[in-house]
Amino acid sequence: MSSNIAAPATPLAPRDKADILAQALPYIRKYHGKTMVIKYGGNAMTDPALQAAFAEDVVMLKLVGINPVVVHGGGPQIEGLLQRLGKKGEFIQGMRVTDPETMEVVEWVLAGEVQQDIVGLINRAGGKAVGLTGRDGGMIRARKLRMLDQKDPSVEHDVGQVGDIVAIDPSVVKALQDDAFIPVVSPIGFGENNESYNINADVVAAKLATTLQAEKLLMLTNIPGVLDKEGKLLTELTMRRIDELCQDGTISGGMIPKIAGALDAAKSGVNAVHIIDGRVPHALLLEILGDQPFGTMIRSH
């Protein structure tokens, strides 16, 4: 018999279950009625077991009186469809160049396939999820992102329909929360001429957390958190330390908008911002209902 087959989990005795719930009680009491914005992306979105665990966590939070709001990405899924259409994805400084054809694909994948998968997962786990884009309720107003060259700021790159957030109106999210629904937000905004914009999901999550004055912003990633040059987990980061890590190249590429958004949220009143490993089953509950440091926490000072 293959030794790779995992043994079935031993059922917990009722006393052990009661102990676990009793230990979670202070956290449930502390966060009851509070909003948590969750950026959902990476492996957690593609592995079926992790998808199911994520959906269960979100439903559990809602059932104990916490208000989760999910903001999702979908880079790999967009890339996959572009390849099937024979279109090569182009990136400048980590940002996807979004011409009108690519924008159609982005909307189709994010607001269609990916969003509806997440809504379905949460509903199957016993929640009531509702999918939104930035157009719904006029939630995310955007303008074209001006991208200056990192080496020569006098040069501006045209990245097409990539958006910069002008304003967020959270009233549709609040209305759903008050009515026992779980909002699932696709990072698509709209401009003054009704044009669509592709917006970085980390940026949307951070801005939405700030606007909703969320208790926590939780960003699920494909790594244990922010790692130093030796690959060791940094459990806490301040603004000064983030500057140093950007200068020496420890924080680079796709991690830059994630960290910048997290820091903005921390400076704007979100009580705690955590970058956590979405490859760990029930990562959300481990972070929210436990007192062990899990992932990287970002503080404004």
CA distance 58 to 289: 13
Per-residue pLDDT tens over the stretch 18-30: 888 888 888 899 9
What are the φ and ψ backbone dihedral angles of 12, each rounded to 5 degrees? -75, 145
Residue 74 annotated as part of some ligand binding site: yes
Per-residue pLDDT tens over the stretch 219-262: 998 888 888 888 888 888 888 888 888 888 777 777 777 788 88
pLDDT of residue 24: 85
CA distance 255 to 74: 16
CA distance 287 to 17: 19
pLDDT at 105 over 90: yes
pLDDT at 12 over 90: no
Which pLDDT band, with edges at 50, 70 and 90, does 83 fall under?
very high
DSSP 43-109: GGGT-HHHHHHHHHHHHHHHHTT-EEEEEE--HHHHHHHHHHTT----EETTEE-B-HHHHHHHHII
pLDDT at 290 over 80: no
- The answer as to whether 4 is a domain residue is no
pLDDT of residue 248: 80
The predicted model scores a pTM of: 0.89
- The answer as to whether 15 is a domain residue is no
- The answer as to whether 191 is a domain residue is yes
pLDDT of residue 171: 96
pLDDT of residue 298: 86
pLDDT of residue 9: 57
pLDDT of residue 15: 86
- The answer as to whether 226 is a domain residue is yes
pLDDT of residue 301: 66
pLDDT of residue 10: 66
Domain assignment of residue 95, given as a range = 34-298
pLDDT of residue 246: 81
Q: CA angle at residue 45 from 215 to 172, to 5 degrees? A: 45
**Count of the separate structural domains present in the chain:** 1
Calculate the average pLDDT of the chain.
87
Residue 146 annotated as part of some ligand binding site: no
Residue 131 annotated as part of some ligand binding site: no
pLDDT of residue 162: 94
- The answer as to whether 166 is a domain residue is yes
Residue 43 DSSP symbol? G
Region 131-156: what's the mean pLDDT?
91
Q: CA angle at residue 267 from 263 to 272, to 5 degrees? A: 70
Q: For CA atoms 283, 288, 290, 293, give the dihedral sign.
A: positive
- The answer as to whether 6 is a domain residue is no
pLDDT at 84 over 80: yes
Report the CATH number that the domain containing residue 198 is assigned in CATH. 3.40.1160.10
- The answer as to whether 266 is a domain residue is yes
Residue 198 annotated as part of some ligand binding site: yes
